[in-house]
Amino acid sequence: MGIINVSPDSFSGDGITNPEVAVAQAHYFVSQGADILDIGGESTRPGSVPVSIDEEIRRVVPVIERLASEIPVPLSIDTYKSEVAQRALEAGATMINDQWGLKKDSHLAELAAERGIPIILMSNQRDKGGYDAGIQRDIAYYDDLMIEVTSSLKNSLELAMKLGVPRESIIVDPGIGFGKTWRQELELIRRLDELQGLGRPILIGPSRKSFIGMVLDLPADERLEGTAAAIAIGIAEGADMVRVHDVQQMVRVCRVSDAIVRWS
């Protein structure tokens, strides 16, 4: 899954404000091997200021409209607002990526059910106080990380199905970078196989995240190798999908990791 950030304040420094540039990046990612494109109009950077529904629609809809007629791969809308998702689906998106796992807006599940499309549900702990003014603290807010994440995802999964989404249309994401400490994020990748009990495909998004910066003491634009390591180990522990900024390099990492772990 290639990331298209149509916002000026992305944590990774790859935010785009020009729709033409976003479309060109999407074409480039597809040429490099992206299977899905994830388009988002609001930064998920800790401490970022939320944008209005109208502004988010203004950012993503023109890009999705163009890509729907030009790109052969599925388009995902990265939003937790049903109004934005509705407009994005009308423009041509065919998947919803909800970073709040229906905690903020359960109508997203109803949209997915009505349209018969997949939905990604993330475990997000930012509402538990893991961040202070956008700075990640080395403090745990729960005793066992995987119990918290598994419970959160199970609740989201059950709610989605209650609202009509078929189980087979749901993908789960443990939420690397969303309310965990950096040491917990290392633990999350190490224990990722424990989420296989949910019986759904697992997506991870470690690309350029702050835990890599903490380990290597490097800024976001120098975390390529750290991202590769996290993805390779994530795949070994059960990840089925990866959401990345550096498509060509991570496609290669995925192919070799799959060859080692999954070929029989």
Looking at the annotation, which residues are catalytic? 209, 243
Question: What are the beta bridge partners of residue 46?
Answer: none
Strands of 75-78's sheet in order across: 2-5, 37-40, 75-78, 95-98, 119-122, 170-173
Find, among 250, 161, 146, the residue nearest to 207 by Cα. 250
**Residues 197, 146 contacting (CB under 8 angstroms):** no
